[in-house]
Amino acid sequence: MLQPAPNTASARAADLFRRHGGIMRMADILRGGITRNTLYSMRDSGLVVQMARGLYRLAEMAPLSQSDLVTVAAKVPHAVIYLVSALSFHEMTTQIPHEVWIAIPRNSEPPRLDFPPIRVSRLTDVAFKTGIEKHAVDGKMVSVYSREKTLADCFGRRNEVGLDVAIEGLKFYMAQGNVKVDLIMEYASKLRVAKTMRPFLEALL
């Protein structure tokens, strides 16, 4: 792996990247005092890798295990991993998402990403803020809805994700243990899907 010489602009930039977990947006890089020329020089020499437009990763980092989630978290920091992507994160589905499903506040501007492909849902204030967890993924904090909130979301959006996917998620949840029926029903009530979910929950208890 190439290493920048000490006390050079590239070395200072590499230190800045390390202090930010190895991944930075262009705007944050520039605010950190690193010029575009230095960044592009590092990219061309292989010291940094461009993950998406305006997003860069220090090449010395270990390979990312979930690069799509990390990219979305870095580019759209107010988004929350949602529905099928949240099921996949929590290992509650056999589905393989071909796009990253995210939720944003209803009045937010839609994010624009060249890659990875995303599917965006705008949620009401209550639906958006309920059940958010923070998880460290490849050194980056990623917002993901909890297992219980994800189940309520999937039953609420069953016409979008498929009822079979929602039921499969519930079965995986039960098999994983640490079942919190009261919490599921609390979220289901907030999302107005309690009547829909209750029979399925009762059948599996």
Tens of pLDDT, residues 52-74: 788 888 888 776 668 889 889 88
Q: Which of 34-38, 58-62, 184-188, 198-202 has the lowest mean pLDDT?
A: 58-62
Same domain membership, residue 174 and residue 74: yes
Q: In this structure, what CATH number is given to the domain that contains residue 113? A: 3.30.460
- pTM for the whole structure: 0.76
Which residues have C-beta within 8 Å of that of residue 7, sequence separation ≥ 6? none
Say if CB 29 and CB 42 are below 8 A apart. Answer: no
Same domain membership, residue 126 and residue 28: no
The pLDDT, as a whole number, for residue 154 is 97
**Residue 203 CA neighbour count, 13 Å, CB half:** 8
Q: Which of 34-43, 56-65, 85-94, 165-174 has the lowest mean pLDDT?
A: 56-65
Domain hosting residue 49, numbered range: 9-58
186 belongs to a structural domain: yes
The pLDDT, as a whole number, for residue 3 is 59
Same domain membership, residue 85 and residue 34: no
Say if CB 123 and CB 106 are below 8 A apart. Answer: yes
Distance from C-alpha of 136 to C-alpha of 151, rounded to nearest angstrom: 21
Q: DSSP class of residue 135?
A: E
Q: DSSP class of residue 47?
A: S
Same domain membership, residue 100 and residue 23: no
Same domain membership, residue 79 and residue 53: no
Q: 57 or 155: which carries more pLDDT confidence?
A: 155
